[in-house]
Amino acid sequence: MSEAPILRDTARSKGRDALQKNIQAALALAEAIRSTLGPKGLDKLLIDDDGRTLVTNDGVTVLETAKVEHPVAKMMISASSAQDRVAKDGTTSTVILAAEMLQNAWQLILQGIHPSTIARGFRKSEQFVLKSLEEISLQATEDMQKTVVETSLAGKGHSSMQETIADISLRAVKMIDDGESIDPTKIKLISQTGGPVEESSLVHGLMLPKKRIASDMPKEIFEGKILLIDGGLEKRGVKGDLKLNVTDTGVLESFRQQERVLLKSQVDKLVEYGVDVLACKEGIDDDIRDYLVKNNIQAFRRVSRNDLNMLSRACDAILVNSISTSRLNDLGEFKTSKNISLDGKDFWVVEAVGKAATIIAKGSTIDIIGEVERCFDDSLGVSVQLIEDGEIVCGGGASYVALARKLRRFAETMPGREQLAVEAYADAIEVIIRVLAENAGIDPISSLIDVVAEQTNLHSDYIGINLTTGKPANMLDLGVLEPKGIIKQALIGATEVSISILRIDDVLWAKQDIEAPAPPQSDM
C-alpha cells in the first residue's frame, strides 16, 4: 500500500530513527548552555541581526535569543521559559537535566526497553524525588535569606554587585509583602546609566519619571485621592472632511470658549469628587492648567499604560476612559504624592495605601545596565519564593546527589524493567554536580564520587562540592543555599519535557516549509 496522498510532500522519520534525531537535538541544545551553569560558568556573547551585542550567562536569555528551528529544541526552550516564569532561576539546570534524562533513556532503548516503560519509570522517579525533597529541605531563618538570594546570583558579576542586588531585592519584596500574597508587579525597576551598581537604591512607593504639568501646583500632597484616566483632558479635534467658512472672528472665539467651558466642567467634577491627583495617559490642555492649579490639583500627563496599571494596583484605583464616565468609587487613595529631583532628573513618587516599591538600578554602561536588570529580575523572583515558601535546600549539587542516593535505594525495591529507568533517572540528576565541577576546572567524576562517599559516611544530605577547593564540604556551613521551589520546578520541568519527547515515535516534516534535518552520527 502506497503512502497516503496527504503525506506525499512530507518527509517522515519513524520509530527509533525519529527518537534518535529528537534526542540528538535536545543534547545539542543543552551543550550550547552547559558551560554557563554555576558560579564558575562562562559567559556567552550574543549578536542579533542588527549587530547589537549582549554578554550574559543567563541560560533562558541565551536560548530565547538563539534562532532555533527544530521542534524538540523549541520544546526544551519552552520548558526553560516556564522555569523562568515560575522560579526565575534554574533555567539552565532544567535543560541540562532533561538532556541527560534523554541520553540515559536512549541507552536503555538500545538495550531493548520500550520508551513507555522508561516513561513510567521516570514518572515514578519524579514522584519519589519530590517527596524526598520535602525531607531534605530546611526552613530559612532571617539570617539565611540574603545568603540564599546571593547564591542565585553566583557567577553573575562580582561579589559586591551580588550583595547589593540581593539586599535591595529582598528588602523590596518585604516592602510589598502584605502577609497574604506577594505581587511582584508592584515593584518598579528604573535603570540609570552612570555610576557603579553599588549605588543602586530602593524607594518606598512608586517612582515614575514624570513632572507635574505646572510648577505652581502642590509639590507634595498627603493622604489624598487619585483618579487615573486612560485618555486625556484635551480639546476635541474635528474628524472627517468638514470645512467651516468663518466670516466673523467672534464665531471662532466662541468655539474656543465653549471648548474651555467643557474642559472646566470636567475639572469641576474632579473638585466635586475631592480629587487631589490626576494622572492621564494622554495630554492635558494648557488652557485648563491654571484652573487645575486654582483647585490645588496635582496633575501628570502622558503617563504610560504600564505605569497607570501599577498605580491602579498600588492605590486600589480603577482606570477609567474619561473624567465624564468616572464614578466616585473609581478613585484610589495614597499616603503621599510628591515631586523630587534625582541626579538632575524629575520624578513623581507615590507612596500608596497598597504597598509598592521602586528599585533604581545603576550601571556604568548600557551593556552593564542590561545585565543588572536581568540580575534584579532573577533575584526578585527568588526573593518572592523565599518569603512566600521559606523552605530551602543546599546548593553545590548536594541536594541532587542526596536525591539520587535515596532514589537508588527506592529502585532496589522495584520489580521489572522500570527499575532500570529509575536508576537511569538517578544517574541523570547527578549531572548537575558534574557540570558544576567541570565548569570550575575540577574533575567531574572524582567530584561526584567524593561527594557521594562523604554524604554516605557522614549520613548528611548537606555535603556538596566546594568549587574553590574542589573538595566536598558542608554547604549549610558555607551558606550555599537555594529555594526548594527552584529545584522542585527544575525536576518537574525536565521530567515533563523528557517524557514528552520519549513518547514521540513519528516526525513529519512538510518539505515546502522546512527541510528534514540530516540524520546525526550517533555516538550513543
How is residue 244 annotated by DSSP?
Answer: -
Using one digit for the tens of pLDDT, what is the confidence trace for 273-328? 999 999 999 988 887 888 899 999 999 999 999 999 989 988 989 999 988 889 99
Using one digit for the tens of pLDDT, what is the confidence trace for 151-161? 888 877 778 88
CB-based contacts of 331, cutoff 8 Å, min separation 6: 225, 226, 227, 273, 274, 275, 317
How is residue 5 annotated by DSSP?
Answer: G
Global pTM reads 0.78
Q: What is the pLDDT of residue 524?
A: 43
**CA distances, 287 to each of 251, 257, 258 (Å):** 19, 10, 12
Domain ranges of the chain: 5-138+393-510, 141-205+360-389, 207-354
pLDDT tier, 497 (very low <50, low <70, confident <90, very high otherwise): very high
Q: What is the pLDDT of residue 236?
A: 60
- The hierarchical CATH code for the domain 5-138+393-510 is 1.10.560.10
Which CATH superfamily, name and number, covers 141-205+360-389?
TCP-1-like chaperonin intermediate domain (3.30.260.10)
Using one digit for the tens of pLDDT, what is the confidence trace for 123-155? 999 999 999 999 999 998 888 888 899 888 887
Strand partners, 320: 229
pLDDT tier, 501 (very low <50, low <70, confident <90, very high otherwise): very high
Using one digit for the tens of pLDDT, what is the confidence trace for 476-490? 999 999 999 999 999
Q: Is 58 a catalytic residue?
A: yes
CATH topology agreement for domains 5-138+393-510 and 207-354: no
Q: What is the pLDDT of residue 2?
A: 46
Catalytic site residue from 61, 92, 164, 495:
92
For domain 207-354, is the CATH number 3.30.420.40?
A: no
Pairing of strands 506-510, 463-465: unpaired
CB 451 within 8 A of CB 464: yes
Q: Is 316 a catalytic residue?
A: no
Catalytic site residue from 56, 61, 91, 151:
91
Using one digit for the tens of pLDDT, what is the confidence trace for 71-115? 888 888 888 888 878 777 888 999 999 999 999 999 999 999 999
pLDDT at 20 over 70: yes
Task: Report how far residue 148's alpha carbon sits from residue 156's, in angstroms, rounded to the nearest whole number.
Answer: 14
Catalytic site residue from 58, 84, 276, 461:
58
